[in-house]
Structure 1
Amino acid sequence: MQSPNRKSAQKVVKSSPQSAASSTNRGSMRNSALPQSSLSSNSFSGVLHKSWIKENTRPSEFRLHTQQRAAQRALFNSSVAVKLDIIEQHKKVVEKVLKVIEEDEVRMLRREMIPRAQLMPLFDKPFLPQRYYLNIIIIIF
């Protein structure tokens, strides 16, 4: 058995799904390591000589939805304006009701608080309050 401190002489090689030709680009394998049959096959020639010329792109027509959006925006603006008008009318009605209630209260206070002359106190007969007795009635059920 080998000691755990020593590295093993065998290296673990991972198998990759890439071809051997793609690994030559990375420098891990050399052409001499490849078998002759794989070098002479035409399967790599299509990949190596692939043309990268693209066709010119043609602009596609597109439709703007500005008219639809403008119509939707007009509906939204009108609904907001109607809502603001309703709120303003409601505020006016509430203010009118509060004003009428306040005026009624002022009228009632003016009726009740009529200034009247007070009688002159009698200085020769001073006022001595007498105790007020309330007749208590007990009702038994």
Structure 2
Amino acid sequence: MAQLPSHSSPKSGSSPSSNSSPRGNFASSNPKRPGKCTETQPFKLHTQRRGLSKVELMAKLQDLLAQEAKQRVPIAQKLPLTTDKSEVLPKGPVKEQTKPMKIKLHTQLRAVKRAEFNDWVANKIYLLEQERLKEEKLLKLMEEEEIKMLRKQLIPRAQLMPLFDRPFFPQRSTRPLTMPKDPSFHMMRNQCSHCVIRSGLNSLHQHVV
């Protein structure tokens, strides 16, 4: 059988770095360093942007107001240094003054007609009121006359005695006396109702006659 090669022990003079693993070499070349701290960055909020835009608008408005205030201040302007005479422009032809026309508006015509109609209505109401007053006065007079007549009639007065020259003498009637007749209570059995009614009517007629 073949013999396995025996591992030779390391020499005492050999350095430990020669027998160390490559991981150990990397660790020895790159030692651990402390990590950097994270830098805080502020959030960009929408409200902050809106606030900045409002501030800008207010600044612009203040600038505009300041410019308008400066423009309102009157500044005297110097006259130009010239020796030229001012030109006198010729006057144009004078126009005749316009004469107003007498226009009759429809509203004026309607106002006149309306006034006439109002007068007519007022006169009619006045006449009706006068007629009503006259009727009331006549009715009042008639009532007073009726009251006077009633008062006169209510006064007791003496009445004349009646005349008894023609006394009343009653006369005897010429009508014949009625003859009494006994009623027939015992009827035949075979007699019909119509016959009974007819016989009763005949008997009544005879009694009346």
Return the TM-score normalized by structure 2.
0.31
**Structure number with bigger Rg:** 2
Higher relative contact order (CA 8 A, sep 6+): 2
Return the TM-score normalized by structure 1.
0.43
